[in-house]
Amino acid sequence: MSRFAAPIAEQIWDMKYRMKDAQGQPVDATVEDSWRRVARDLASVESDPAFWEDRFYSALSDFRFLPAGRILAGAGTGRAVTLFNCFVMGTIPDNMGGIFDMLKEAALTMQQGGGIGYDFSTIRPKGAEVKGVAADASGPLSFMDVWDSMCRTIMSAGSRRGAMMATMRCDHPDIEAFIEAKQDSARLRMFNLSVLVTDDFMQAVKADGPWDLQFGGRVYQTVQARDLWNRIMRATYDYAEPGVIFIDRINQQNNLSYVETISATNPCGEQPLPPYGACLLGSVNLARLVTDPFTDKARLDDAALDELVRTAIRMMDNVVDASKFPLPQQLAEAQAKRRIGLGVTGLADALLMLGLRYGAPDAVEQTRKWMKAIARSSYLASVDLAKEKGAFPLFDADEYLKSGFMQRMDDDVRAAVREHGIRNALLTSVAPTGTISLYAGNVSSGIEPVFAFAYTRKVLQKDGSRTEEEVVDYAVRMWRDLHGDAPLPDYFVNAQTLAPKDHVAMQAAAQEWVDSSISKTINCPEDISFDEFQDVYLSAWDLGCKGCTTYRPNDVTGSVLSVSEKTEDAPEADQGADVVYLTEPLDRPGALDGATYKLKWPGSEHAIYITINDIVQAGHRRPFEIFINSKNMEHFAWTVALTRMISAVFRRGGNVSFVVEELKAVFDPRGGAWMQGRYVPSILAAIGGVIERHMIETGFLSGEGMGLKSDPKAEVVALGERPRGPACPNCGQYGMHMVEGCMTCPSCAYSKCG
């Protein structure tokens, strides 16, 4: 009998976590083989590997402990990939050489699969004098564009695109440009943006006082703090970015404030990290620890939780020693502090099993108790590890116990830390768990509410046919198993119906006992007023959160597809999307408008000529056919094949921009070439760039990098109310929503963050 609770879980395992050889053939025959591989690798650093391998395997069994995807996919494979999820890079120097050294380090980190964060506040503002070269500075935004281009080029390990977080202090002279940067739909698409908000700024906002924008001791401009705050809020209200990070609170609460200053986070925000800081992630699946669910006896097994947390802490500590690191500075930082981030998933499902409504006062209090229990077990487990293996090298008992977080910790834990030290400087974090939650049977993600109780997805079978598959939330499926078709009780709520204040209350309760931070998205209704929206952020500040990320669906944030087409001539149209999908290819008209482009690949004797002809539908031009020609006979076969295949795709209708992204992602193992100041990884990628430029010029695409990443073929039919949200660019299904700072598909686990 399969260990998987749902077909989608097995598909996620096979696609993302199952070890396969270079030819794509499975090495892990079963998910048990995957668990054994991970357990054996993490136990290999122990003095008694066999004993700990069995303990680790038991923790992984039945999806109770869920190491983050990097660990599941990479541990025990022998591949040169990092098992760490989160990196903040070194401080960017305010000089050209240093800036591009940092760019190189970022590329090397993303190449191994790490998501990175950067603070761009250290770069002088636009227009500032650059001494010695008689020029003005271009400012941090211009260098962020360089990082963005690099990220689009580098393909991270595991076929994942890199994800990046950019932060900027609220007193930087270019902060207003930073706030508005992503309102240009073609700019900084690989970045999440967050403003570093200080305590002084928040006090100035509440007092409606002045606020100096300064750099290097010079005040460039003075604005009203409340006006700047309103600009941040308006941008977030309309565009879902930037987020807000309460940076002073993060540093005040940090156990390591005596040896580090934090000014950036990883891409999803749950890990505030110092320069070259790295952290690995893992989650305890609370939904698997509830006994007698949906009865008066329902409870979470406290003893099982304690044992599982203690085992998970040991496993994650071992990752520090088992993992590779892209840079030696990251290795040194990780070994000096041994930072880990244990969190939870399935929280909302566990609350439902106990009959508690997410966001209600009793659910908030239960969340607080569970998170405190996890914190206690984590810290005591790390103390035990310190007794056995030693404390982290930078441990200083007096300084460590002064932190805001340790001041809240129970006296017995503080006493144990003082007497024996602690193995890991920081231990808890709530990470995005979208993919591993699906892998665990579609449990609720992190501390998020259930997004949708159930929906259907169309699955492509090996014979080319499509079948419909119901994807049901873990707790809902359990309720059905116990109660059949009985209506769901009133306490079953989801992200579509919750009030924003319920989200904030849950985040604040969890944050009290999380020593790092929390990746959490507060879903707001489309019709929320601007004043109510601002109150969400002020409430997050007042209740002690370390940051705030919201998502309000609207015409901007809900727009994934770049072209809107409607035509009465189409044989069939997808009524849920804004593009036309055809059951039969269009007939070719007698005459078409088009353009021919010359592509000269460096080092090649002959140029390639690319002709793209367009058809007009409902007033919009769209590509209809392509011809690729070259005098180089070595190119004949593949240019003919491309001509036929791409033309066939163009004629079938729909949003065919995925062709661009697929071609641009092709890397030539012999190396690419520099063309017009940009590195192009292959001739095929160059052809993709030509097609993209044509699509932009004809209005089919709104900008560079705005094409779909793969062919959208699937369609969602919701059960009851269709999940609110745009179509997924990967599978075409509706319900894309913001989860822990990333636009995420509930069907295929595609994430904008990678």
Output the 3-class SS for 546-586: CEECEECCCCCCCCCCCCCCCCCCCCCCCCCCCCCECCCCC
- By the 8 A CB rule, do 694 and 611 touch? no
Could you confirm whether 266 is annotated as catalytic? yes
Q: Tokens 């094409």 identify what position?
A: 707
Q: What is the pLDDT of residue 576?
A: 32
CA 230 – CA 531 distance, rounded (Å): 10
User: Does residue 242 have a cis bond before it (omega within 30 degrees)?
Assistant: yes
Q: What is the pLDDT of residue 653?
A: 73
Produce one character per residue of 219-244: b if its CB has 16 or more CB atoms within 10 Å, e if not.
Answer: ebeeeebeebbebbbebbbebbbbbb
Q: β-strand 243-246 against 191-197: which pairing, if any?
A: parallel
Angle, alpha carbons 330-517-205 (nearest 5°): 115
Query: Phi and psi for 621 in degrees, rounded to 5?
Result: -85, 140
Q: What is the pLDDT of residue 732?
A: 53
Of the candidates 494, 526, 520, the one whose C-alpha atom is nearest the C-alpha of residue 505 is 520
- By the 8 A CB rule, do 316 and 376 touch? no
- Its sign, for the CA torsion 728, 731, 734, 737, is negative
Catalytic residue among 251, 266, 285, 613: 266
- By the 8 A CB rule, do 662 and 688 touch? yes
pLDDT tens track for 597-627: 999 888 777 889 999 998 887 567 889 899 9
Q: What is the pLDDT of residue 3?
A: 84
CA 386 – CA 424 distance, rounded (Å): 8
Q: What is the pLDDT of residue 176?
A: 97
- By the 8 A CB rule, do 307 and 248 touch? no
The pTM of the full predicted model, rounded to 2 decimals, is: 0.77
Q: What is the pLDDT of residue 560?
A: 28
Which residues have CB under 8 Å from 240's CB, separation 6+?
Answer: 550, 551, 552, 556, 557, 738
Catalytic residue among 86, 170, 268, 748: 268
What dihedral angle (degrees, nearest 10) is formed by the CA atoms of 737, 742, 747, 748? 160
Q: What is the pLDDT of residue 290?
A: 98
Q: What is the 3-state secondary structure (H, E, C) of 466-525?
A: EEEEEEECHHHHHHHHHHCCCCCCCCCCCCCCCCHHHHHHHHHHHHCCCCCCECCCEECC
Could you confirm whether 388 is annotated as catalytic? no
Catalytic residue among 270, 565, 661, 662: 270
- By the 8 A CB rule, do 495 and 447 touch? no
CA 400 – CA 390 distance, rounded (Å): 16
Of the candidates 476, 424, 428, 485, the one whose C-alpha atom is nearest the C-alpha of residue 454 is 476
Per 3-state DSSP, the chain is made up of helix, strand and coil in percentages (nearest 5) of: 40, 20, 40
Q: What is the DSSP string of 66-107?
A: EE-HHHHHHTTS--S-BS--EEE-PPPPSSHHHHHHHHHHHH
Q: What is the pLDDT of residue 575?
A: 32
Residues in the chain, pLDDT under 70:
1-2, 113, 133-134, 155-162, 457-467, 555-587, 618-619, 669, 709-743, 745-754
Q: What is the pLDDT of residue 746?
A: 62
CA 517 – CA 515 distance, rounded (Å): 6
Q: What is the pLDDT of residue 704?
A: 82
Could you confirm whether 270 is annotated as catalytic? yes
CA 403 – CA 409 distance, rounded (Å): 10
**To which H or E segment does residue 532 belong?**
helix 530-542
CA 341 – CA 299 distance, rounded (Å): 25
Enumerate the β-bridge partners of residue 466: 460
